[in-house]
Amino acid sequence: MHAVRRVPQRLSGGRDKDRIEEKMPRIRIDNITVDVPAGATILDAARKAGIDIPTLCHRQGHPPMTSCLVCVVRVNGASRLVPSCATLAQEGMVVASETPDVLEARRTALELLLADHVGDCVAPCTQICPAHMDIPRMLQAIARGDDRQALIIVKQAIALPATLGRICPELCEKGCRRGDVDEPVAICKMKRHAADMDLFGGNPWLPQRRPPSGRSVAIVGAGPAGLAAAWYLSALGHACTIFDDHPLPGGALRYAVPEDLLPREVLDAEISLILRLGATFRGEFVLGRDAGIQDLLKQYSAVLVATGPADAAKLASFGVPLLAGRGPAFDKNTLMTRAPGVFLAGGVITPYKHAIRAVADGRHVAASIHQYLSGAPVVGEDRLYSIHIGRLKGEELAVLRQGAAEAPRQQADVRSGAIPPALARVEASRCLQCQCSADCTCTLRQLSARLGANQRRFTVQRRPVERVIVHLGVVYERNKCIACGLCIQVAEEAREELGLTWVGRGFNIRVAVPLDGRGRAALMRCAAECVEVCPTGALSFTSAAACRCAEQTTAASGQERR
C-alpha cells in the first residue's frame, strides 16, 4: 500500500480546495523503510533515512549532474548500478547502498578521478615530517605576523617545539619545494621562532583543558615520548602522572643532549607548561623495582611505557607479558599491547635517532589512550591520506613562485642560532604554499580516505600545474578540477555575463573561462559560492589556506588558557 499525505491546493478566487491525497513512494534502503514525496530521488530517500550516500557533483535541490558516479546504488538486485542522485524513488524499490560491489564501484569511480587530479593534499615538507606538522600554515601565520597562531598550529603536532627547534635534524626541509628554486625555507628555525616568541614572551599559550574525565594515566618515562603524551592527554582532561628513574624530567633531552645545543632553561620552560596543564612528575622511580605494570593498573586507568630502549630482560621485569619473539608485542597502528590498558611509545619500541620521532609517537599513543579511556574503538590517529604530484617542472615552479617572496634564505644569528624576529616574516614568506588550500575540506580526499582509493591504480599523462585568476582573490587550478560541473551550474544560475563553461569533449572535457581564460571577470557575482561548492579546491580564495582552516585549527586546540 502507498503511504499518503494531504496537500492543500489553492483554486482561482483564493479558495482552498479540499485536501487531496498524494501518493508517497515507500522504498527500502539497506533494510530501512522510508516514505518520500513523489518526485524524490533515491539520494533524497537515503538522506531522510539517515544513510550516507557520498556525492561529489550534487547540490541539494538542484538538477543532478551525474558526472562523478560515486553515489551509485543497486536497485532490485539488477546487474547495472544507477546514480542515486538522478534515479527517482518508486514504490516497492529495494535499494542496496553498502554492499561490497557497490563500494568497489565507488572506489573505482574515485580512482578514475584521482588519476586525472593533479595536486598534493599536503605539502611534501609536511608529508616527510615525522610529526606531519602543518608547515605551510605555520609559515603563513608567521609571514602575516601572527606568531601566536603559528605556535598553536605547531603544537597541534609537536608538544616541545622550542626544544626540537634547536636539535631537530630538519628532515622536513629535504622535501621543501623552495629548494628546487634556490634554497629550502628555514622551517626548523621558523618553528623555533614561533615557539620562542611564545615561550619567552611573558604569556605562554596553553590550550583550554577539557573537564576532568575521571580517568588517570601512569606514564613511565619522562623523555620526549612520555612528555608529549602527557601534554595531549592532560589537554583532553585525563589526570597524568609521569614517572622517571631520574630526579628531573626530560630523559635523553636532559641527560644526553649537550647543553650548548639545548639550554636547560628552554627544556625546563617547556616541561613547566606540561605540568601547568595538569600533569604531575614523580622522579627516582624504577618500573619493576618500585612497582610493576600490574601494580600501576590497580591505581591508574591506563599505563604508558615510554622508558627508552629496553632489552628482553628489562621488559620482562616490568611485570606483564610485553614480549613477542625478540621485541615488544604491540599493535603498530595503536601502540597498544596485548595487556589491556597498557601502551608503548618511543624508544622502548624502536631506539630512535631523532627526538622528533619519539615526540610524534607520544602524540600518536595519546590518541589511542584517549580512545581506550573513552570506551571507543582503539584505532589510533587517522592516517594522513595524501596524493602527490611528484617533482615539478621549471614552469610549474614558476607558477607557485608567483605568491612567494623572492628573498634569499635568511641566515641565523651566529650567537643565538635563531633568525632575528624582524627577518622571520621575510623567511616565512619564501614558502611556495604548495599544499592544497582545501586539504581540510576536500570531499574528494575525504571519500578517497574513507574508501581506500588508490591514486595510482589508473595511469594517465599528468596535467601541468596551472593557476588562472578568475576573480579578484579567487584562483582556478585546472589541474585539480574533476569536471563535476557544479561551478558552471552556479554561474549559470547567477546569470554571470562571462562565467565558466565546458571546453573539449569526452575524456578531454575541461572547465574553463570563456575567451581562453584571458578575463579576470569570470565570476563577478558568485565567486564565493563557486569556491564553496568546489569539492576539490580547484577553485579557492588566494588566501584560502589561512581563512578556511585557521578556525578549525583553533577549535581543535581549544580556546587559550591564561
Convert the pLDDT of each residue in 208-244 to its tens digit.
999 999 999 999 999 999 999 999 999 999 999 999 9
What pLDDT sits at residue 14?
A: 42
Q: What is the DSSP letter of 88?
A: B
Convert the pLDDT of each residue in 503-558 to its tens digit.
888 778 888 888 665 667 889 999 999 999 999 999 998 864 444 444 444 334 44
Q: 206: buried, middle or exposed (CB in 10 Å: 19+, 13-18, 0-12)?
A: buried
What pLDDT sits at residue 544?
A: 46
Asked if residue 487 lies in contact with residue 477, where contact means CB atoms within 8 angstroms, the answer is no
Task: Residue 480: count other Cβ atoms within 10 Å of its Cβ.
Answer: 25
Q: Which domains, and CATH codes, for the chain?
A: 3-98 (3.10.20.740), 126-204+389-428 (1.10.1060.10), 209-374 (3.50.50.60), 464-554 (3.30.70)
> Is residue 307 very low, low, confident or very high in pLDDT (cuts 50, 70, 90)?
very high
Helices 264-276, 187-199: inter-axial angle, 10-degree rounding: 60
DSSP helix/strand/coil, 114: helix
Percentage of the chain surpassing pLDDT 90? 74
Residue (of 214, 219, 271) closest to 240 by Cα position:
219
Average pLDDT, stretch 252-256? 96
Please enumerate, as own/partner, the contacts of 513-522 that have beta carbons within 8 Å and a separation of 24 or more: 513/468, 513/470, 513/476, 517/468, 517/470, 520/469, 520/470, 520/471, 520/472, 521/471, 521/497, 522/470, 522/471, 522/491, 522/496, 522/498
Written as one string, the DSSP assignment of 357-421 is HHHHHHHHHHHHHHHHHHTS----SPP-------SPPHHHHHHHHTTS--PPPPPPPTTT-S--H
**Which is it for the CA torsion 480, 389, 394, 135, positive or negative?**
positive
Judge whether residue 401 has pLDDT over 50: yes
Convert the pLDDT of each residue in 469-501 to its tens digit.
888 889 999 999 999 999 999 999 999 988 899
pTM over cut 0.75: yes
Convert the pLDDT of each residue in 457-476 to its tens digit.
998 888 999 888 888 889 99
Q: What span, in angstroms and rounded, lies between the C-alpha atoms of 26 and 17?
A: 26
Written as one string, the DSSP assignment of 452-466 is T--TTSS--PPPPP-
DSSP helix/strand/coil, 486: helix
> Which residue shows C-alpha cell 615488544?
328
Asked if residue 164 lies in contact with residue 355, where contact means CB atoms within 8 angstroms, the answer is yes
Average pLDDT, stretch 350-360? 91
What pLDDT sits at residue 515?
A: 67
CA angle 35, 40, 41 (to 5 degrees): 105
Strands 302-305 and 32-35: unpaired
On average, the pLDDT of the chain sits at 89
- φ/ψ of 247, rounded to 5, equals -75, -20
Convert the pLDDT of each residue in 13-54 to its tens digit.
443 343 234 578 999 999 999 999 999 999 999 999 999 999
